[in-house]
Amino acid sequence: MNPIKINEAVDAVRGELISPGCGLEIRGVNIDTRQLKKGDLFIAIKGERVDGHDLLEEAENKGAVAVFVEKDVNHKSDMAIIKVNDTVRALQDLASAYRKQFTCPIVAVTGSSGKTTTKDLIKAVLSSRYETIATKGNKNNHIGLPLTVFDMDDKTQSAVFEMGMSGLGEIRVLAEIAKPDIAVITNIGTAHLEQLKTRENILKAKAEIFSTLDMNKTGIINGDDDMLVKIKAEGFKLYKVGVDSKELDLKCMSYHTDMYGVKMRVLEKAGSQIEEYRFRLPGIHNVYNCLDAIAVGKLLGLNQKEIQLGLDEYLPGENRMDITSVKNSVVINDSYNANPGSMKSALDVLKLYKKDDNMLVAVLGDMFEIGPDSETYHREVGAYAKESGVELILTIGEKSRFYNEGAEKSGLDRERSIHFEDKLDLLDYLKSLVEKKAVILIKGSRGMRMEEYIKSLN
């Protein structure tokens, strides 16, 4: 982060300087006293369990030079105490002001699934030429994104921000802070149906990522997605990627996927030469993820060799298509999150591992936030698992019985469709299973903590 003068921070958030403190400038921004460094601004946010206003002494002891507060505080301090109406909004306003220092290209990414992989792929591609920062972990919300903005400094040549949401209006706020030059929507699925009720509303919420674009900026969409094709370019340039549709700016002419990854032949409408790319992770969904990254690379002037170098350098995030050997089995850890689309994509990958001498196993936890048709979606995924060649389904969670119902209705024998009420019972079963020759997919929504089974097996 580039230093910010304390008086400039006060002006940026329209705050009141209650106590001037002894410092002159801020060298970092933090909301967590456990991570505070000397010279940081501490933002006192009232959370569900902890109120940052109760931690001012700890923040000062850690070296904070300034603090944003929204309550009256009685704290004699060498920190600059800055009173604001809302500390979260002040964090966002300061990030927005800080963002204006930079003219380097900014890329924003959202979508129902694949947004984190796509964000990481774009970062890897751009890093082959540019010094690039990107969202870390799950810092993609109204607090995490502004904190990520402060990772930019004078060395930054490009930035990639992931934008998550749970309702209408949220991504618009993030877009106003980040002001992206290129904005990407991966797809429109069924995640967040519980809050937004319809896929049309999910489309509206995701399309807010385009709200700050102008004719010098570009929105990238999946041109094969039945909802995204409804988007019209109004006041900005629209760039479509895909495999099947005719009107595409970047088209995958052909691809091959197996357990070792994907190979694809890609043609850009503006060009005349087919380019070949490869990627280490398998599945058609990764073809689309790669197309987004290739498109961003091309829009920012990278050549085929630089883009391929970036794809080669990509490393999967934690609990995302992490494929390892455990005893005599292969375990596919895709436990970070789940919705019907990502479940089917993961099952497509599992199918690629079928050999005569192994068994395909799906360990599935509940999918959350998919609305009133949740039972139907769980049954559909169970049926899809059977159709994908899964020979043993192990389920856990309140809704997970419906996976079993769907699989059994599609012809899976009941003795190969097992529901567990107790985590330890499932773990004991898995421990015996990895002694055999099996390929085991483990996946469920974040709240199911399916990664705990991986840790126990290892």
**Is 111 known as a binding-site position?**
yes
Residue type at 21? Answer: G
- Half-sphere exposure of residue 284: CA atoms within 13 angstroms, side-chain side: 15
Instruction: For the beta carbon of residue 23, count every other beta carbon within 10 angstroms.
Output: 19
Locus of tokens 């909301």:
31
Could you tell me the two tokens for 297? 């690379």
**Is 186 known as a binding-site position?**
no
**Is 112 known as a binding-site position?**
yes
How far apart (Å, rounded) are the C-alpha atoms in residues 48 and 239? 41
**Is 198 known as a binding-site position?**
no
Residue 79 near residue 61, CB atoms below 8 Å:
no
Locus of tokens 């049309």:
200
Task: Characterise 355 by phi-psi region: left (phi > 0), alpha (psi -120 to 50), beta (else).
Answer: beta
Q: Which pairing describes strands 80-83 and 66-69: parallel, antiparallel, or unpaired?
A: parallel
Q: Which pairing describes strands 40-43 and 132-134: parallel, antiparallel, or unpaired?
A: unpaired
For 29-34, the CB contacts below 8 A with 24+ separation are 29/1, 29/91, 29/94, 29/95, 29/147, 29/150, 30/64, 30/147, 31/91, 31/143, 31/147, 33/58, 33/59, 33/62
Type and span of the H or E element at 4: strand 4-5
**Is 116 known as a binding-site position?**
yes
Could you tell me the two tokens for 162? 């992931």
Binding annotation for ATP:
111-117
Binding annotation:
111-117
